[in-house]
Amino acid sequence: MVILGIVVTPLPIPLGLLMIAIGLALLAQDSIFISNKIRAIRKRFPKFSAGLKAAEPRLGNIFKQLLQRTDPNSDGQRHSKH
């Protein structure tokens, strides 16, 4: 899904970015490496992280858990799968 998202990113509709986000969320469920990379991106771009945090209440449980697990300001649960 991530690769397909990259392919369709140049389209005028931001479907590619959505596909990339969903693909990374699915990968992060099982990959500590991906979770740590998402955490690093959120730490590097605090405005982006704040936007994700603001959207958290409107997201499903899977995405809420991912956002909580990859929050750079959390209590360090990055090595835990749950």
Task: Write 16-25 long-range contacts (CB < 8 A, 24+).
Answer: 25/62, 25/63, 25/66
Please, are residues 4 and 10 in contact by the beta-carbon 8 Å criterion? no
Please, are residues 70 and 35 in contact by the beta-carbon 8 Å criterion? yes
- Confidence at residue 82, expressed as pLDDT on a 0 to 100 scale: 43
CA–CA dist 79, 69 (Å, integer): 9
The SS3 of residue 19 is helix
Lowest mean pLDDT segment, chosen from 31-35, 39-43, 59-63, 69-73: 59-63
Give the confidence band of 64 by pLDDT, cuts at 50, 70, 90.
Answer: confident
- Confidence at residue 75, expressed as pLDDT on a 0 to 100 scale: 63
Q: What is the mean pLDDT of the chain?
A: 78
Query: Would the pLDDT of 72 be above 50?
Result: yes
